[in-house]
């Protein structure tokens, strides 16, 4: 059964749900927060795994939907990058203070006013840190592992090394003034091996309307289907 996707046959139902270890039940695969949502990841032509469904919290689901990229692992990195950006201030608390300082503040009468604030700030830091650091459990469907560790999320292009493809996308979007969402969609459709092609298409369409961009994506998809 696990080989069906490898032979290019479509599964009749929606994407298969990944196996969830008992200790992670009702937890987000991206950040380990309690969750009730699911991300349906649609595998494209260049995705090294089948379509699949992973449990996700509301926030990670929203972030993941924005950047499916070329695999669930690239998507995971993009979600982490976004969480780090969103919770930058919370994460900085751990850099500025130590737990000892927080505890000491509790017994210091001068710090009474700030004591409570610091305590809650420290809690927010711990939560943000745990969410960003959570690695997700290894993916498998019906007991068959999907990750053989041959897939690397780091990415090199034009002599530059990036920790993730989402970082490469945001780097080129910023430095070349490209539409980031458009470039993300292009990379999702053409695959990471044709990153340069995706950047070129994004550059050509720098002043194109959303309607034209939509057509460009549709043309690329049709072109690939015809191949
Ligand atoms: Zn989450």
Ranges of residues in the chain with a pLDDT under 50 are: 1-12
Structure tokens at 180: 């980031």
DSSP code at position 8:
T
Q: What's the gap in Å between 57 CA and the centre of ligand 1?
A: 4
pLDDT for the residue numbered 151: 78
Helix (H, G, I), strand (E, B) or coil at 191: coil
Please report the pLDDT score of residue 97 as a whole number: 74
Cβ contact 145:138 at 8 Å:
yes
202 Cα distance to chain centroid: 21
Report how far ligand 1's centroid is from the alpha carbon of 166 (Å): 18
CA of 78 to the centre of ligand 1 (A): 12
Q: What is the 45 CA–ligand 1 centroid distance (Å)? A: 27
Q: Where are any strands of DSSP class E within 24-176?
A: 37-41, 52-56, 140-141, 144-145, 155-157, 160-162
């Amino acid at each position: 059964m696990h080989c069906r996707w490898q032979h290019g046959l479509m599964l009749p139902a929606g994407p298969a749900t990944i196996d969830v270890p008992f200790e992670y039940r009702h937890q987000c695969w991206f950040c380990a927060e309690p969750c009730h949502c699911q991300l349906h990841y649609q595998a494209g032509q260049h995705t090294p795994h089948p379509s699949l469904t992973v449990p996700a919290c509301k926030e990670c689901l929203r972030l993941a939907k924005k950047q499916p990229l070329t695999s669930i692992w690239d998507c995971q990195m993009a979600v982490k990058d976004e969480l780090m950006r969103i919770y930058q201030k919370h994460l900085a608390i751990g850099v500025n203070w130590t737990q000892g300082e927080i505890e000491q503040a509790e017994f210091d009468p001068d710090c009474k006013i700030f004591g409570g604030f610091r305590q809650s700030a420290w809690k927010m830091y711990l939560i943000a840190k745990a969410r960003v650091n959570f690695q997700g459990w290894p993916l498998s469907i019906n007991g068959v592992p999907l990750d053989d560790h041959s897939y690397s999320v780091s990415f090199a292009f034009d002599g530059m090394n990036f920790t993730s493809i989402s970082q490469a996308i945001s780097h080129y979007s910023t430095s070349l003034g490209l539409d980031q969402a458009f470039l993300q969609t292009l990379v999702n459709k053409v695959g990471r091996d044709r990153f340069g092609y995706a950047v070129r298409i994004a550059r050509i369409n720098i002043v194109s309307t959303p309607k034209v961009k939509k057509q460009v994506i549709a043309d690329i998809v049709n072109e690939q289907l015809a191949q």
